[in-house]
Structure formats: C-alpha cells, structure tokens
Amino acid sequence: MFPGVRFKLELWPMLLGAITWPNQLACQIAIGIVMGSLAVSFMVVARQNRRLNKEAKRRQQFETALRTSEAHYRALIHALPDLIMRINRAGIYLEFLASPDFATLPQDASTWIGTHVADRMPPNLAKKRLDAIKKALTTQMTQVYEQNLSINGSKQVEQVRVVPYSHDEVLIMVQNISDRSKAEEQLKHDAFHDQLTGLPNRSLLMERLELALKRTKRHPEAQLAVLFLDLDNFKIINDSLGHHIGDELLLGISNRLKIAIRETDLAVRLGGDEFVVLLEEISDLTEVVMVAERILETLKLPITLVNREIFPSASIGIVMYVPENHHGAADLLRDADVAMYWAKHNGRGQYKVFDPKMHQQATQRLNIESNLRQALKNKEFLIYYQPIINLKTQQVEAFEALIRWQHPEQGLLGPDRFIRIAEEIGLIVPIGEWVLQTVCQQLSYWQVKCPEQPLKVNINLSVQQLEDSFLLSLEELLTQHSLRANTLVLEISESALVHNVDATQDLLERLKHRGVGIVIDDFGAGDSCLRYLHQLSITGLKIKREFIRSSEPDSRHQVVAESIISMCQSLGVKTIAEGIETSEQVAWLQDVGCDLGQGFYFAKPMTANGATNLLTSFHGSILG
Ligand code: C2E
Ligand code: MG
Ligand code: MG
C-alpha cells in the first residue's frame, strides 16, 4: 500500500482522540502527524510533476529536432538534381538516376547506356557538354552551365553541373530551373519597364541609347534622333480629376505613342508625364519632324475618361545626334529636354528642334533664376515711368510703372527677361508688393510736389497677385501715404484674365468697388475676350500695340481698333492706345475718339526723376 494512504488510515483515531481528550500534547502530536503526512504527499506529487516536466521538455526537444531535420530534408530534396548521369571522358553514358517528374528523362534511359553524348543531343548542346567534361577532368573542378531546351513546345531552362567523379569519369547533375529563371526574367523586365504603362523605362533607354550611339559612330550615314515629350496641363488633370484618371490618361497616351512610331523605334516613359522616343537609322531631320507631327496629331484626338472628353496635347523637343555635342546618352536627353522646354514656352502643343543657342539661353535662365532670388534683398529693382497722355488735352494723365532690374553682371534688364520666371518660381508676389509700395511712395511725393496735377499711376499685375492679401496691402499703403484709391489703376493682361475669369472676378469687383481703376492690358490678342467684357469689372481697356502700329489707313488692324474703341464708348469704358510712335497714329486715334495714348512718340519709359522733371518743367503737357 502507498505510504500516503497508510498514514491517512492511522490518522483518523488520533484526530478523534484529539477532539475528545482534553490532553493538549496529544492534540499537538496529531496535528504534527497530519502536517507530516501532507508534506510527504506534496513531495510525492512534486516528484511526479518534475518527472512529467522533464518528459514534456524531452518531447519538445525531440519535436524541434524532428522539424529541423524535416526542413533540412526538404531543402536537400529541393537541392537534389533532377537527373544524375555518369559519363566517361569519351562522352559515353554509363549510368542514369532521375527524379520521376523530370521532363527530359529519357523514357528509354536504359538504351542510352553505352551510347555517345553526340548521339543523344543537338550538336551545340553536345559540344557544350563534351567541353565541360573535358575541362572538369583536366582541372578536377566542378563546371556549371545553363542550357535551354524546347520540350513539347514549352521552353525549359536547365542548370548542368559537371562534377569530377574519378580521373576518367564525371557525374553530370541536371536541374530544371525554369521557374527560377522565369522569376529572374520577370525581375529583369520590371527593372527595365514602367509599371503603369509597360513601356521601357529610363534605365533601358540609357542602355539602348548608348548602344545606338556606338552603332551610329560606326555607320554615320544612319542618323539618330531623340524626341522628348511632355504632356501639357497634366498637373491640372491630375489635381482636378484625381490620380487614377491621370494614370488612365498616361496609359492612353502610351498606347497612342506606340501606334504613332515605327516598330524599330523605342517609346519610353521617363516618369510623370514625360516620355522619350528614340529614332534610329533615319535619313534626315524631315523624317524626324514627320514622326513628331504624327505623334502630335495622334495625341490630339479626344480621350474619354469617366464620361468626360479630354483633349490631350503635348510639347515635343527634338534633337539630332551631333558627334561634337553629344558624348553620351545624357547629353542627347539634356538637349531634347531643353528643346521641349522651348516648345512649351512657345505656346505648347508643338515641337521645337534643338539649337545650341537654346542651351545658352537655358543656362542664362538658370542664372537669372538664382540671381532673381537675391535681387529684392539687394535692392536691384527700380521703376521706370512712361507717361499716358490724354489725347484730347495732350496732358499727362497718368504714368505706367514699368519694372527694371539692374542686374549685377548683365546691366539693366527689361521685364520680359525676368517677370515670367518670377511668376514661375513664385517670386512675383513679393516683387509685386515691392512695386506697389514704391509706386505709392512716388505718387505721394508727386502729389506734394505738383499738387495742381491730378495724377494716376498704372501698375502691371500678374494674376498670382490677385489674392485677398493684395487688397489688404493696398488698403494699408493707401492709408500710409494718404492716397485716394482712384489714383491707382491696375493693369492685367487679357490672356492672363481670360484663363482666370472665375477666380479673379470677385476680387476685381471688390477692387473696383473700392475705387481702384482696372484696365485690361494688351487687349485684342485673344478671341474669347469679348464675352468676358461685361462679366469683369473693368474701367479701362488698353489696345494691343499691334493694332495701333499699322500705318495703312483702313487696314484690318485699324478696323479692329476702331470697333474696340466704339464698343468701349458704348460700355462707358475708357480706351488707351499703347505703342503710339507717329503723329499720324495720334491724329487717327484722336479722330476715332480714343481717350488716352502712350508710346515712344510721346515719351519712352523714364526714371522717377525724369518723370518728376516732365511734371515740373512742362506742367504735365507733353508737347511743352
Ligand atoms: P505692357 O504693360 O504692355 O507695357 C508696355 C510695354 O511696351 C513696355 O515694355 C513699354 O516699354 C513698351 N512700349 C511702350 N511704348 C512703346 C512704343 O511706342 N513702342 C514700342 N515698341 N514699345 C513701347 P516693358 O517695359 O519692356 O514691359 C514689358 C511688359 O512687362 C509690360 O507690358 C508688362 O506686361 C510687364 N511688366 C512691366 N512691369 C511689370 C510689373 O511691375 N509687374 C508685372 N507683373 N509685369 C510688369
Ligand atoms: Mg501694361
Ligand atoms: Mg501692354
């Protein structure tokens, strides 16, 4: 019987005795025995637990070892070749061992024994095998190569290891690596192609370009050209319709591009909305221009995306390979990019052929851009003033403020050299703010100096300046210099306004309400401008120089100018003619009732001091 059970039986009379006997000692003995018996039971249980734990641990270790060995085994199976052959130095098959699912296992393997490698394989593969056997036996080192086979119409790639077995025999181990090779091919494809469009990417282009350059150097009669294509307004589509629509558009464009080029040409997506087409073996520029025109035509057709018709357009830069200028692929791409930039800035939707002058100008532009950032801080801007004459009274009614930049190296630069760049890089707002401040200061000086002359100043504004903050600064400056709002006239070019009618309408309304004059500058260029005339709050209209310049009476330009003037008269809008250069033009404009005029005939833009002299010496009368 187990000791714990015996103790328990002996315990009962003792316990009963401890209750009935008033003897304390007997009671303590009984408790002692109970505790002792319990302790022994615990020890027994603990020992059994320890044994069980040990057992469990051993089992766990055993299972881990089993799993590891299973993994090793599986790895080993995978690493095992599908086919092992023993072949002697002469190329005679001696023995075969093959996995059952190995596709190239000869069903009649037994009949192969004793035959020669050359009898069993195509000559090129047999030669490869015999060479490897020879080399393995001479060097006593394993030789590895890959072979491509076509088995039942499908391509199979095998890795062949030729292991020296004795001084005269080798073991040839063959493994089907088609899956691995397919995965590697996919990786290679991904590395050289764009994921979205499937077109080749920049890496592949650079490789192909370098190869093409080498070929063209060897055969200079076959020329090489690169087309750099950038979609127009892609950012607007992406931002307004969403990125997935942008992606669909890119996909559509890449498909059209493939159609527009020859099979031998390479169309590449560089990234974003930039594409490149590489044209090889072309005869001359005319051929390239034809491709560019075909691409522009193909892209122009509308694409329907989410029930919306989009009319894509692109700007293309063309560069022909010139050995002296293009030492590598990067040089060609750079020049094509520069030409594309010119196409874009020349009005988009067109192509431009690279000319080395473009490169110089692009470098100059970069210089201007970096200097422009310092110009405000270095106080390099100044304002010239050109008088605007009342054509009836011949008195100076206003000055147009025209910015100039005293460039540290290039001398005095006109706004055409830097305003557009300032707009593009977001500097036009602080520059415009400086113009407004300077003009207000000058105007208040003139009001003190020539109080009898009610003078206005016209300021040119870029659309980016038409923000609420502009109105705030304007209010502050008017108060600071004690100026009336109607002494300021804001000129905004027609082309800029037409593209931003909705965005600017409210602010223009508020400015007009405040009393500030608003003039549409360079009017007459666009054909959609007339319908905005009643919509926009304008006080004046400046007729584009081209319409004034014509010397022939009743020319088309004169007729347009006259109808603009009469239309403005009926709308109560003042007309200003710019670019007046002759007395005949003045006479004609006076005759047709144009209100104001400006031009070299009266005066060229002048410094602030020059303008003050004009005001004080001639009392504002331009004819003295
Ligand atoms: P715009 O506002 O149309 O200015 C008139 C331009 O024509 C001025 O050129 C002026 O010098 C020139 N001009 C005036 N009369 C004649 C003439 O009889 N014959 C000829 N051939 N030209 C004449 P400028 O100063 O080079 O200004 C060019 C443009 O730059 C301006 O055209 C205006 O759009 C812009 N601009 C000037 N200052 C600023 C400015 O502070 N801010 C902004 N955003 N643009 C400005
Ligand atoms: Mg102007
Ligand atoms: Mg103008």
Section 349-376 average pLDDT:
90
Q: Report helix, strand or coil for 515.
A: coil
- Report whether pLDDT(396) > 90: yes
pLDDT value at residue 206: 96
User: Ligand 2 centre and the CA of 521: distance in Å?
Assistant: 6
pLDDT band at residue 271, thresholds of 50, 70 and 90?
Answer: very high
- Report whether pLDDT(476) > 60: yes
Condensed to tens digits (0 to 9), the pLDDT of residues 17-30 reads 444 444 555 556 65
pLDDT band at residue 71, thresholds of 50, 70 and 90?
Answer: confident
pLDDT band at residue 443, thresholds of 50, 70 and 90?
Answer: very high
Looking at the CA of residue 600, tell me the nearest atom of ligand 1: 18
pLDDT value at residue 525: 64
Section 54-81 average pLDDT:
79
Condensed to tens digits (0 to 9), the pLDDT of residues 106-130 reads 666 778 889 999 998 889 999 999 9
Q: For residues 505 and 304, give the distance between their C-alpha atoms in angstroms, rounded to a whole number.
A: 31
Looking at the CA of residue 580, tell me the nearest atom of ligand 1: 18
Segment among 31-40, 272-281, 475-484, 562-571 with least mean pLDDT = 31-40
pLDDT value at residue 17: 44
Segment among 374-378, 465-469, 589-593, 616-620 with least mean pLDDT = 616-620
Bridge partners of 171, per DSSP, are 86, 163
pLDDT band at residue 333, thresholds of 50, 70 and 90?
Answer: very high
The H-or-E segment that residue 562 falls in is helix 556-571
Q: Pocket of ligand 1, candidates 384, 402, 489, 596: which has the most ligand atoms within 8 Å of its Cβ, to mutate?
A: 402
- Report whether pLDDT(35) > 80: no
Cα 536 versus chain centre, distance: 36
pLDDT band at residue 179, thresholds of 50, 70 and 90?
Answer: confident
Q: For residues 565 and 411, give the distance between their C-alpha atoms in angstroms, rounded to a whole number.
A: 39
Section 189-202 average pLDDT:
94
Q: Report helix, strand or coil for 129.
A: helix
- DSSP string computed for 307-354: TEEE---EEEEEEE--TTT-SSHHHHHHHHHHHHHHHHHTTSSSEEE-
Segment among 395-399, 462-466, 532-536 with least mean pLDDT = 532-536
Section 412-436 average pLDDT:
94
- DSSP string computed for 410-456: TEEE-GGGTHHHHHHTT-HHHHHHHHHHHHHHHHHHHHHH-TTS--E
pLDDT band at residue 223, thresholds of 50, 70 and 90?
Answer: very high
pLDDT value at residue 106: 60
Higher per-residue confidence, 238 vs 606: 606
Higher per-residue confidence, 53 vs 490: 490
Bridge partners of 176, per DSSP, are 158
Q: How many helices (H) and strands (E) does the chain have?
A: 21, 21
pLDDT value at residue 111: 80
Residues 516, 456 contacting (CB under 8 angstroms): no
Condensed to tens digits (0 to 9), the pLDDT of residues 582-609 reads 999 999 999 999 999 999 999 999 999 9
Section 184-197 average pLDDT:
91
Q: Which of 65-74, 231-240, 530-539 has the highest mean pLDDT?
A: 231-240
Q: Which of 264-273, 545-554, 614-623 has the highest mean pLDDT?
A: 264-273
User: Ligand 2 centre and the CA of 460: distance in Å?
Assistant: 5
- Report whether pLDDT(352) > 90: yes
- Report whether pLDDT(624) > 60: no
Section 421-427 average pLDDT:
90
Query: CA-CA distances (angstroms) from residue 373 to 365, 368, 380, 407, 459?
Result: 13, 9, 11, 12, 22
User: Ligand 3 centre and the CA of 544: distance in Å?
Assistant: 6
Q: Whose CA is nearest to atom 42 of ligand 1?
A: 460
pLDDT value at residue 152: 76
Q: For residues 267 and 259, give the distance between their C-alpha atoms in angstroms, rounded to a whole number.
A: 10
User: Ligand 1 centre and the CA of 83: distance in Å?
Assistant: 85
User: Ligand 3 centre and the CA of 602: distance in Å?
Assistant: 16
pLDDT value at residue 457: 98
Radius of gyration of the chain (CA): 45
Looking at the CA of residue 542, tell me the nearest atom of ligand 1: 3
Looking at the CA of residue 428, tell me the nearest atom of ligand 1: 44
pLDDT value at residue 108: 67
- DSSP string computed for 265-317: SEEEEEETTEEEEEEEEE--HHHHHHHHHHHHHHHHS-EEETTEEE---EEEE
The one-character DSSP state at 61 is H
pLDDT value at residue 8: 42
pLDDT value at residue 143: 95
pLDDT value at residue 19: 45
Cβ < 6 A, ligand 1 pocket: 386, 402-403, 414-416, 419, 432, 435, 460-462, 491, 493, 521-522, 578-581, 598-600, 605
User: Ligand 2 centre and the CA of 216: distance in Å?
Assistant: 52
pLDDT value at residue 1: 39
pLDDT band at residue 62, thresholds of 50, 70 and 90?
Answer: confident
- DSSP string computed for 604-617: --B-HHHHHHHHHH
Looking at the CA of residue 384, tell me the nearest atom of ligand 1: 25
The pair phi, psi for residue 261, each rounded to 5°, is -110, 170
Q: Whose CA is nearest to atom 12 of ligand 1?
A: 579
Residues 391, 586 contacting (CB under 8 angstroms): yes
Q: What is the dihedral of CA 140, 142, 147, 152, to 10 degrees?
A: 100
Q: Whose CA is nearest to atom 22 of ligand 1?
A: 579
Section 355-379 average pLDDT:
89
User: Ligand 2 centre and the CA of 283: distance in Å?
Assistant: 48
pLDDT value at residue 29: 61
Section 402-431 average pLDDT:
93
Q: Pocket of ligand 1, candidates 372, 439, 460: which has the most ligand atoms within 8 Å of its Cβ, to mutate?
A: 460
> Is residue 501 exposed (0-12), middle (13-18) or buried (19+ Cβ within 10 Å)?
middle
Looking at the CA of residue 403, tell me the nearest atom of ligand 1: 38
pLDDT value at residue 38: 64
pLDDT band at residue 140, thresholds of 50, 70 and 90?
Answer: very high
pLDDT value at residue 292: 96
pLDDT value at residue 78: 61
Higher per-residue confidence, 347 vs 99: 347
Both tokens of residue 184?
A: 């590697």
Section 439-458 average pLDDT:
94
Condensed to tens digits (0 to 9), the pLDDT of residues 499-540 reads 677 778 889 999 999 999 999 998 886 544 566 677 788 999
- Report whether pLDDT(16) > 50: no
- Report whether pLDDT(39) > 70: no
pLDDT value at residue 2: 41
pLDDT value at residue 288: 96
Mean pLDDT score across all residues of the chain = 87
